[in-house]
Amino acid sequence: MKKILSVMLVIVVLACTFCACDREFDEDKITGKWTYNETVLGIVTERTYIFNADGTGTAPGELTGDLIPISMKWSIYEGNITIEKSTSKDPIIYAYELKGDTLTLTKADGTSITMTRATADK
């Protein structure tokens, strides 16, 4: 019985270790500047998210016509990215998909944002 428990404990520890590695790996890959275009009332505006390695960053202002970026905190857990904007009490949880230089964030209601990693000249 002790042997079975020991083996199960080792399996659990290894699984947790691999999960943590994946999360850190994705956090490293998401870090940086990401842009997308948003159309409001026929006007196309480039919007920018910046994800810093320390879990902070900036997000586009709300849809009030204010284009000034606002500060945010972000984290990744269990396949989701949580963004806490300084102007909001409630965090926003997105499922995310990262494919090369394309990052798609999808809310629970199905709305999504597809962003492209900004190059050095942007």
The token pair at 13 is 């520890």
Give this prediction's pTM. 0.72
pLDDT of residue 66: 57
The token pair at 20 is 């943590």
For the purposes of burial, counting CB atoms within 10 Å of the CB of 59, is it exposed (0-12), middle (13-18) or buried (19 or more)? buried
> Where are any strands of DSSP class E within 1-122?
32-40, 43-51, 56-59, 70-77, 80-85, 92-99, 102-106, 112-117
Mean pLDDT of 11-21: 46
Domains of the chain and any CATH numbers: 2-117 (2.40.128.370)
Displacement of CA 80 from its chain's centroid (Å): 7
Token look-up 């090369």 returns: 100
Residue 17 has pLDDT above 60, yes or no: no
pLDDT digits (tens, 9 = 90+) for 30-61: 999 999 998 888 988 888 999 999 999 998 87
